[in-house]
Amino acid sequence: MSETFREVSSLDGTTIAFDRLGEGPPVVLVCGAMCDRALMRPIAEELAKGFTVFNYDRRGRGDSRDTTPYAVQREIEDIGALVAEAGGTASVYGHSSGAGLVLHAAAAGLPIARIALHDPPYALDGDEEARRGAREYGETLKATLSEGRRGDAVELFMTMVGMPREMIEGMRRTPRWAELKALAPTLAYDSEVMGDVSRGGTIPVEKASRVTVPALVLTGGADYPWMIEVGRRLADAMPNGGHRVLEGQEHTVPPEVLTPVLEGFFSHDRRQ
> pLDDT tens across 83-127, in order?
999 999 999 999 999 999 999 999 999 999 999 999 999 999 999
Q: How many helices (H) and strands (E) does the chain have?
A: 12, 8
Compute, in degrees rounded to 10, the torsion defined by CA atoms 62, 56, 184, 11.
100
pTM: 0.96
Which pLDDT score, from 0 to 100, does residue 272 have?
38
Note the residue count of the chain: 272
Cβ atoms of 25 and 49 within 8 Å: the answer is no
Pairing status of strand 112-118 against strand 215-220: parallel
Residue ranges of the chain with per-residue pLDDT less than 50: 269-272
Domains and CATH numbers, the chain: 3-122+203-266 (3.40.50.1820), 128-193 (no CATH)
Cβ atoms of 109 and 121 within 8 Å: the answer is no
SS3 99: helix
Residue 185 CA to residue 192 CA, distance in Å, equals: 12
**In this predicted model, what pLDDT tens digit does every residue of 47-66 receive, in sequence order?**
999 999 999 999 999 999 99
Which pLDDT score, from 0 to 100, does residue 184 have?
98
The percentage of the chain sitting over the pLDDT mark of 90, rounded to a whole number, equals 96
Which pLDDT score, from 0 to 100, does residue 124 have?
96
Q: How far apart are the first and last CA of the chain?
A: 27
Cβ atoms of 140 and 191 within 8 Å: the answer is no
